[in-house]
Amino acid sequence: MADHSGQGKAALAALTGGALLGLSPIAMRLSELGPHASNFWRFLLALPILAVWAAVARPIPTARQTGWILFGGILFGIEVSLWAAALGLTTVANATLLANLTPVFAALFGWFLFRERLGLPVAAGVAISLAGAVLLAFARAQAAAGPTGDPETGWIGDALGLCAAVGYAGYLLILRMLGKQVNVGAVMFVATIGAALVALALALVFHEPFLPQTLNGWLILIALAVIVQVGGQGLVAYGVGRLPIVASTVLLWMQPLVAAALSWMLFSEALGALALIGAALVLAGIYVVQRNRERPSSDATAASSAPSDTPR
């Protein structure tokens, strides 16, 4: 019973974290800076809060664990940058769809590394959510401005979007691997340092301005740091570290749903019938996965000789 209660809290954390991450594209759109400079401030402004969290957190990560977390943060920083680059080279639909394939790659990696078996109900939930994410991406792209998929560069954008999904899956797998061994505060602090270094390097390479011109510009960056990085990613780190990787990553499909709803309210980007059907399918798939998430975890535990709740 305690384990089910703990998994319920972890699922709620991942779901809420995914919803908060939906604020990220809205804030990035409103930011006065380029994508890499905006991400740099997002990470940098979050570090003081995360440093306090890490200082009071126990257990303290070992040197080996710190190295893995730092590598995960670098993967996360690269993923965010690849996503931004993909949007400039391919269609919005392609970039969104490919970046949302993270749960698919996470399922494959989780099966290979952790022997987490994907039960039929969970697989059905993943398929339903994936279909919904595809519909939502294409429906939102119909009215989006931007690249139309130039054959000369479109394939590069598609490849970057796919790499972004793989990179984020790798970051989440590291969280999954260390989630029960290291406190979330320490994980977030070290990972955010890695991501900040990537964002800083890219902002310098692309000569992006670093300082917002207005108070509103600073407030947007602070919101990115506190709400998205500390709140959203912190809740995601907690949830992913305590759930089967497939269950936790599917819950993150709340991000495009929230982003779509906020775009509708703030930018008058109305959701048509196709987008609403896609949103409903995403929610239905999440419900199916949540309803059956304990089953693959318990099956995998029985098949493993490891003493932990889920196989390592």
The 3 state secondary structure assigned to 256-310 is HHHHHHHHHHHHCCCCCHHHHHHHHHHHHHHHHHHHHCHHHHHHHHHHCCCCCCC
Distance, CA of 269 to CA of 263 (rounded, Å): 6
Residue 90 in tokens: 């391919």
Total length of the chain: 312
pLDDT of residue 308: 34
Give the alpha-carbon dihedral of 110, 9, 26, 101, to 10 degrees: 20
In the three-class reduction of DSSP (H, G, I as helix; E, B as strand; rest coil), residue 237 is classed as helix
Distance of alpha carbon 230 from alpha carbon 168, whole angstroms: 17
Distance CA 63, CA 55 (A): 16
CB 234 within 8 A of CB 184: yes
The count of C-alpha atoms lying within 13 angstroms of the C-alpha of 57, restricted to the half-sphere facing its C-beta, is 19
The distance between the two most distant Cα atoms of the chain, rounded to a whole number of Å, is: 58
Residue 223 pLDDT: 93
pLDDT in single tens digits along all 312 residues of the chain: 455 567 778 888 888 888 888 788 788 878 899 889 999 999 999 999 999 999 887 778 888 999 999 999 999 998 888 877 776 666 655 666 666 677 777 777 777 776 666 677 777 877 887 788 777 767 766 555 444 445 555 567 667 777 888 888 888 888 888 877 888 888 999 999 999 999 999 999 989 999 999 999 999 999 999 999 999 999 988 888 877 776 666 777 677 677 777 777 776 666 677 778 887 887 888 777 767 655 444 444 433 333 333 333
- What Rg do the C-alpha atoms of the chain give, in angstroms? 19
Residue 62 gets which letter from DSSP? P
DSSP code of residue 213: S
**Helix, strand or coil, per DSSP, at residue 88:** coil
Predicted local confidence at residue 272, as pLDDT: 75
**What is the structure's pLDDT at 306?**
36
